[in-house]
Structure 1
């Protein structure tokens, strides 16, 4: 396996992995702060970098059934949240292709 390259983000506010500070997303890609994760508050993002996606699985969540995949930091491997692949409720379709990052697992890197 070759060397993995990480993307570095620039902007007013960059969120990174709280374990290794690898850049993950900017404030400009944040869609909502009104989400909950497994460990408390969470943010919904349009785009996230430097993550590895796990296998898809169906999960029953507070907003209904979704197909999601866990996302992990590409450097240290800590689980950061999940990606929505499919929402079965038509009112939840806006989440498809977006990412949840748990606030307790993030740090401001800039």
Structure 2
């Protein structure tokens, strides 16, 4: 697990390729990330499935309640099948763009 912070956004990258242990680590340390926007980068883990991504829903809901963004970067996923409560994009650039748009929406009161 690699953690990078840029301004108000923290990117957590799965470097091991083991989604279950990665999810455990992120869940345990989530209290230290809950005041920042969060990008979960799973782009290097090609074995991530839609059911794996659904396990991130509680973390996503927790971040949304705190008025922070939660974006998952994953490749090889049917993006139309992803639940609407979870934001999944294919690249880090798109993840940062989504966070910028959500920040603007929050600033405007939407």
Scaled by the length of structure 2, what TM-score is found? 0.23
Q: Which of the pair has more CA radius of gyration? A: 1
Q: Which has the higher strand share?
A: 1
Q: Which has the higher helix share?
A: 2
